[in-house]
């Protein structure tokens, strides 16, 4: 569908549009790619049976991909799995996990905590967030081990800028922030983890702030074009690869942790399931997740193929 675009279009920035489209398509119907899980369990005799589990996902590509990884890994261990992907927002699926209609769902620990469990929490690090979740989750739920993979806000710069100014962490911006224009969604200006937090945690005051979009095509184009020198980009935005961007490390957790973490309905899981999911978390990294996101979102690879490829690569499937 992109063949109608002018030829000079940079494939990288074009990806921004692809994200919109991909999200849109995913929302329209996930019946396409990531459905291998459901086929094996559509047998009414086994689906929803006492030993079966239901793996759910939110309605965006990355979460569906993670759910597909869970499904394939569990099936590899002989667990009966039903997949119920593309459910909606947390407001919709969280009650379903809480009441056991969904057994397992790939979550982001920070967002889970502040949107559904404790909206006033100020926990920032992975340990703090997980401790808060363990303390406050309803008794029917628990989180398993967090992976190191995080999909969270970041201060992102181009590779060229990073090389020129020797930037790898947000702290490295100290000498240059006064010359940098930073971009992000309009609320970044006032949010506690936006400009306010960057000043408080890292002592950074930027030259100015440009209101853009939420890690979308406008933000990416502004970074690539040099309209802004730094921007708030989510750490698993696939254009980080194609546009040669660098998400700066955030050692002081200005942005609260968003580790990919399995949320499970306690009664529905046994030790095999817990061990399988924890093994996935142990191997999942941000770069690994980013590469898979690029494959499904920008390259339109099949979800199952990508999930299977990763499981094989990390030694969890043969």
Residues forming contacts to another protein in the complex (CB under 8 A) are 5-6, 8-9, 13-14, 16-17, 20, 183, 185-187, 189-190, 210-213, 217-218, 221-222, 224-225, 227
- Taking the complex as a whole, the smallest distance from the CB of residue 225 to another protein amounts, in Å, to 4
> Which CB atom, from 179 or from 187, has the smaller least distance to another protein?
187
> Which CB atom, from 185 or from 268, has the smaller least distance to another protein?
185
- Taking the complex as a whole, the smallest distance from the CB of residue 56 to another protein amounts, in Å, to 30
> Which CB atom, from 124 or from 182, has the smaller least distance to another protein?
182
Concatenated DSSP letters of the chain:
-GGGS-TT--HHHHHHHHHHHHHHHHHH-TTSSS-HHHHHT--TTTTT-TT-EEEE--SSHHHHHHHHHHHHHHHHTT--EEEE-----HHHHHHHHHTTSS-EEEEEHHHHIIIII-TT----SHHHHHHHHHHHS-TTEEE-PPPS-B----EEEEHHHHHHHT-SBGGGGTTTGGG-EEEEEGGGGTSTTTHHHHHHHH----SEEEEE-SSSHHHHHHHHHTS-SEEE--TT-THHHHTTEEEPB-TT-SSPP-BEEEEEEGGG--HHHHHHHHHHHHH--HHHHHHHHIIIIIS---HHHHHHHHHHHTTS--
> Which CB atom, from 185 or from 262, has the smaller least distance to another protein?
185
> Which CB atom, from 142 or from 214, has the smaller least distance to another protein?
214
- Taking the complex as a whole, the smallest distance from the CB of residue 155 to another protein amounts, in Å, to 17
- Taking the complex as a whole, the smallest distance from the CB of residue 182 to another protein amounts, in Å, to 12
- Taking the complex as a whole, the smallest distance from the CB of residue 291 to another protein amounts, in Å, to 23
């Amino acid at each position: 569908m992109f063949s109608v675009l002018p030829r000079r279009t940079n494939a990288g920035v074009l990806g921004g549009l692809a994200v919109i489209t991909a999200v849109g398509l995913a929302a329209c119907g996930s019946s396409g790619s990531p459905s291998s899980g459901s086929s094996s369990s559509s047998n009414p005799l086994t689906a929803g049976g006492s030993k079966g589990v239901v793996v759910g996902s939110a309605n965006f590509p990355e979460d569906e991909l993670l759910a597909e990884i869970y499904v394939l890994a569990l099936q590899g261990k002989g667990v009966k799995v039903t997949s119920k992907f593309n459910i909606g927002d947390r407001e919709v699926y969280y009650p379903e996990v809480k009441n056991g209609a969904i057994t397992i769902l790939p979550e982001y620990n920070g967002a889970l905590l502040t949107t559904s469990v404790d909206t006033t929490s100020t926990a920032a690090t992975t340990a703090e967030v997980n401790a808060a979740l363990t303390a406050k989750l309803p008794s029917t739920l628990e989180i398993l081990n967090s992976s190191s993979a995080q999909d969270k806000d970041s201060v992102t710069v181009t590779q060229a800028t990073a090389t020129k100014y020797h930037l790898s962490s947000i702290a490295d911006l100290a000498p240059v922030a006064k010359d940098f224009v930073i971009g992000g969604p309009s609320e970044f200006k006032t949010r506690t983890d936006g400009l306010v937090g960057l000043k408080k945690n890292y002592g950074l005051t930027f030259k100015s702030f440009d209101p853009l979009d939420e890690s979308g095509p406008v933000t990416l184009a502004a970074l690539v074009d040099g309209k802004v020198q730094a921007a708030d980009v989510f750490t698993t935005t696939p254009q980080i690869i194609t546009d040669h961007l660098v998400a700066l490390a955030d050692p002081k957790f200005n942005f609260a942790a968003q580790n990919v973490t399995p949320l499970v309905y306690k009664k529905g899981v046994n030790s095999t399931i817990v061990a399988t999911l924890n093994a996935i978390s142990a191997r999942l990294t941000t770069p690994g997740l980013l590469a898979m996101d690029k494959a499904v979102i920008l390259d339109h690879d099949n979800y199952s193929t990508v999930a299977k490829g990763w499981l094989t690569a990390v030694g969890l499937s043969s």
